[in-house]
Chains A and B, each alone.
Chain A
Amino acid sequence: MLSIKNLHVSIEDKAILKGLNLEIAAGEVHAVMGPNGSGKSTLSHVLAGREGYEITDGEVLFNGEDLLSLEPEQRARLGIFLGMQYPVELPGVNNMTFMRESLNAVRRGRGEAELDAVAFMKRVREKAKLVELDDRLLKRSVNAGFSGGEKKRNEILQMAMLEPQLAILDETDSGLDIDALRVISGGVNALRSPDRSIILITHYQRLLDYIQPDFVHVLVDGRIVRSGDKQLALELEKKGYGWIEEEAAA
Chain B
Amino acid sequence: MSSQQQTVDELIRSDYEHGFVTAIESDTVPPGLNESVIRTISAKKNEPEWMLTLRLQAYQHWLTMEHPDWAHVQHPPIDFQAVSYYSAPKRKEDGPQSLDEVDPQLLDAYNKLGIPLEEQKALAGVAVDAVFDSVSVATTFRKNLADVGVIFCSMSEAVQEYPELVQKYLGTVVPYKDNFFACLNAAVFTDGTFVYIPEGVRCPMELSTYFRINEANTGQFERTLIIAEAGSHVSYLEGCTAPMRDENQLHAAVVELIVMDDAKIKYSTVQNWYPGDAEGRGGIYNFVTKRGDCRGARSHISWTQVETGSAITWKYPSCILRGDDSVGEFYSVAVTRGMQQADTGTKMIHLGRNTRSTIVSKGISAGRGQNTYRGLVRMTPRAENARNHSQCDSLLIGDRCGAHTFPYIEVRNPTAKVEHEATTSKIGDDQLFYCRQRGLSEEDAVSMIVNGFCKEVFNELPMEFAVEAQKLLNLTLEGAVG
Contacts and interface: CB of A to CB of B under 8 A. Distances in A.
B456 interface: yes
Interface string A61-96: 000000000011101110001101001111111000
Given A90-B449, A141-B452, A158 B438 contact: yes
B429 A51 contact: yes
Interface in B393-445: 428-431, 433-442, 444-445
A91 B437 contact: no
A16 B451 CA distance: 37
Given A51-B433, A88-B431, A90-B434, A102 B451 contact: no
Contacts of A101: 440, 444, 448
A1 interface: no
A141 B439 CA distance: 18
A237 B430 CA distance: 33
Interface in B295-343: none
B463 interface: no
B431 A73 contact: no
A106 to B, nearest CB: 4
Interface residues of A, number: 32
A226 to B, nearest CB: 30
Given A71-B3, A92-B453, A141-B452, A106 B437 contact: no
Contacts of A93: 448-449, 451-452, 455
Interface string A133-155: 00000000100000000000000
Contact of B442 (A48, A73, A91): A73
A75 B440 CA distance: 11
A73 B453 contact: no
Contacts of B439: 73, 76-77, 102-103, 105-106, 109, 162
B1 interface: yes
Given A71-B436, A73-B441, A105-B441, A91 B430 contact: no
B428 A76 contact: no
B454 interface: yes
Interface in A98-121: 98, 101-103, 105-106, 109
B454 A92 contact: yes
A98 B440 CA distance: 9
A206 interface: no
A69 to B, nearest CB: 13
Interface of A: 48-52, 71-73, 75-77, 81-82, 84, 87-93, 97-98, 101-103, 105-106, 109, 141, 158, 162
Given A103-B439, A109-B439, 11 more contacts: A51-B433, A71-B436, A73-B445, A76-B437, A84-B434, A90-B431, A98-B438, A101-B448, A102-B440, A105-B444, A141-B455
